[in-house]
């Protein structure tokens, strides 16, 4: 399914795919007017009344989510967007797609920390629903934490995970397992 088609459908998985595709375009929100530039680009490309575009722009502008889009001050920073992976971990074949991973390195190139951001377009509204969604997705994120540790060559303890609930413009940390 092409991007334009996905971005014009606003139900269930299609809506989630559309929001993910928009966020995959954003490396960092740098400089004055960055959100306005994305707004102009997305509205021109996908339509001013597109629900996914409206949700994406609201997330870019949400103060609670500013850290997702702000480039860290580390010496070297790399961001992975919609990056597929496959590997053997503990004797099991693991595949998936990271929504967003920020890898920070020191001046010598050694990874100092990583942040995994996983977007959820779930229709959650209450604190109880958010807590249930965090619990439901914790296993996935903790597996991703282990995979990023291997790929980025950093200890699991230096990998943070968060879920971004796009409809609420809310970010929740996922506590490491065990």
- Reported as a single tens digit per residue, the pLDDT across 64-79 is 999 999 999 888 999 9
Same domain, 91 and 139: yes
Instruction: Please check whether residue 46 is in contact with residue 38, taking contact to mean a CB–CB distance below 8 angstroms.
Output: no
Q: Which domain holds residue 9?
A: 3-61
Identify the domain boundary among 61, 80, 102. Answer: 61
Please compute the mean of the pLDDT values over residues 135-146 and round it to a whole number: 96
Cα 149 to its chain centre, rounded Å, is 17
Measured distance CA(80)–CA(121) in Å, rounded: 20
Per-residue confidence (pLDDT) for residue 123, from 0 to 100: 85
pLDDT at 1 over 70: no
Per-residue confidence (pLDDT) for residue 11, from 0 to 100: 57
> b/e map of 107-136 (b: 16 or more CB within 10 Å)?
eeeebebbbbbbbbbbebeeeeebeebbee
Per-residue confidence (pLDDT) for residue 7, from 0 to 100: 46
Same domain, 152 and 92: yes
pLDDT at 2 over 70: no
**DSSP SS3 for 53:** helix
Same domain, 75 and 55: no
Per-residue confidence (pLDDT) for residue 122, from 0 to 100: 83
Same domain, 57 and 116: no
Same domain, 149 and 83: yes
Local confidence band at 115 (pLDDT 50, 70, 90 cut-offs): very high
Per-residue confidence (pLDDT) for residue 19, from 0 to 100: 95
Structure-model confidence comparison of residues 149 and 30, the more confident one: 149
pLDDT tens-digit map of 87-106: 999 999 999 999 999 999 99
pLDDT tens-digit map of 6-64: 444 445 578 999 999 999 999 999 878 899 999 999 999 988 889 999 999 999 999 99
Distances in Å between the alpha carbon of 175 and those of 4, 118, 122, 145?
36, 14, 20, 10
Same domain, 56 and 74: no
Number of compact structural domains in the chain = 2
């Amino acid at each position: 399914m092409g991007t334009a088609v996905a971005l014009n459908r606003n139900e269930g998985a299609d809506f989630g795919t559309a929001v993910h595709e928009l966020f995959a375009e954003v490396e960092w929100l740098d400089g004055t007017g960055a959100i306005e530039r994305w707004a102009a680009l997305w509205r021109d490309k996908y339509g001013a009344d597109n629900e996914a575009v409206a949700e994406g722009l609201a997330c870019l502008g949400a103060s609670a989510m500013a850290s997702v889009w702000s480039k860290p001050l580390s010496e070297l920073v790399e961001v992975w967007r919609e990056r597929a992976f496959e590997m053997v971990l503990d004797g099991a074949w693991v595949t998936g797609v990271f929504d967003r991973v920020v890898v920070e390195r020191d001046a010598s190139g050694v990874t100092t920390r990583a942040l995994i951001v996983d977007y959820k377009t779930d229709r959650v509204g209450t604190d109880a629903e958010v807590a249930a969604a965090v619990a439901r997705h914790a296993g996935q994120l903790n597996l991703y934490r282990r995979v990023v540790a291997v790929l980025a060559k950093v200890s699991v303890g230096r990998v943070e995970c968060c879920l971004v609930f796009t409809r609420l413009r809310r970010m929740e940390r996922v506590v490491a397992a065990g």
